[in-house]
């Protein structure tokens, strides 16, 4: 099954990157401002994107400063059952975020689109970690000619 | 074998997008300013990125307004033998670019990195097509903490 893969580095600690992946305030500042739910292990986080739709992620793993793994439990049909994983690797003043959105059934147009969007949201995360300002929905960067 | 997949849309025609993928002037304005070589079918295009390295692409297919396919014939070892494909789909005033970098041997860290970089270079292509200004090397957006 095809995966979406990305990697960014930010001038920050793994602890701060982990906070941005595991707290309401962090997630709301780089992915979507409309983030709610339960952020603990086994909880379900609800990410909403207005009329574009929503995604519910169950927290499958969270290891402080190292790894976060979510399973999609509701949302776009092509996302159902897929998993989103972040691995953190600190090296001195920098932290790398290795990203995988695993378990797509096929390399659809929508998967191509989501791959590009993930890259831009990860750049939003990098910006948040380095400057304090991300580009979360509804202020995200568009890759198509309509809202996406 | 894992692939890198992306999709962008730009407010432009497929003919203009095709020009940006098949001419020295076009490629130099969104990927790297140091673009040389032969751009015709069977030719080899040389893309250089200063001290970061270079990539030589053989033009395997080019179908006006529709498709461009390159094969990597020299460059980073992980790129050797892989293929880069652009499919164009015009819908009214908009053109979608479906992108695939096919034939990676493994989902390495470098592949994760290149996936994110491709997304940003495709956003550079989108910007070039819509505003006349891309972000080609050496003015490209960095995804790590050093030049990448």
Per DSSP, helices labelled H in B63-108 are: none
Give the per-residue pLDDT at B19. Answer: 98
Contact across the interface for A5 and B111, Cβ inside 8 Å: yes
A112 Cα to chain B: minimum distance (Å): 4
A61 Cα to chain B: minimum distance (Å): 21
Query: If you ran DSSP here, which 8-state letter would residue A50 be given?
Result: G
Selecting from A8, A9, A112 the residue whose C-beta is nearest the C-beta of B6 gives A112
The answer to whether residue A18 scores a pLDDT higher than 80 is yes
pLDDT digits (tens, 9 = 90+) for A76-120: 999 999 999 999 999 999 999 999 999 999 999 999 999 999 999
pTM assigned to the model: 0.97
Contact B46, B39 (CB under 8 A): no
- pLDDT, one tens digit for every residue, chain B (148 residues): 689 999 999 999 999 999 999 999 999 999 999 999 999 999 999 999 999 999 999 999 999 999 999 999 999 999 999 999 999 999 999 999 999 999 999 999 999 999 999 999 999 999 999 999 999 999 999 999 987 7
pLDDT average, residue stretch A58-69: 98
d(CA B9, CA B141): 19
> Which residues of chain B are within 8 Å of residue A119 when distances are taken between CB atoms?
6, 115-116, 119-120
Of B3, B4, B19, the residue nearest B134 (C-alpha): B19
Contact across the interface for A123 and B115, Cβ inside 8 Å: no
**How many other C-beta atoms lie within 10 A of the C-beta of residue A107?**
15
Contact across the interface for B5 and A107, Cβ inside 8 Å: yes
Q: Provide ipTM, 2 decimals.
A: 0.97
> Which residues of chain A are within 8 Å of residue B125 when distances are taken between CB atoms?
none
């Amino acid at each position: 099954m095809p995966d979406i893969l990305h990697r960014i580095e930010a001038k920050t600690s793994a602890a701060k990157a982990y906070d941005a992946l595991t707290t309401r305030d962090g997630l709301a500042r780089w992915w979507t401002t409309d983030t709610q739910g339960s952020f603990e292990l086994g909880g379900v986080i609800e990410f909403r994107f207005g009329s574009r739709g929503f995604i519910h992620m169950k927290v499958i793993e969270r290891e402080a400063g190292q790894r976060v793994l979510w399973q999609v439990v509701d949302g776009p049909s092509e996302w159902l059952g897929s998993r989103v994983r972040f691995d953190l690797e600190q090296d001195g003043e920098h932290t790398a975020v290795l990203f995988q959105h695993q378990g797509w059934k096929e390399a659809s147009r929508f998967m191509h689109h989501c791959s590009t969007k993930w890259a831009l949201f990860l750049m939003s995360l990098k910006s948040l970690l380095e400057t304090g300002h991300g580009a979360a929905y509804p202020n995200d960067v568009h890759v198509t000619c309509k809202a996406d």
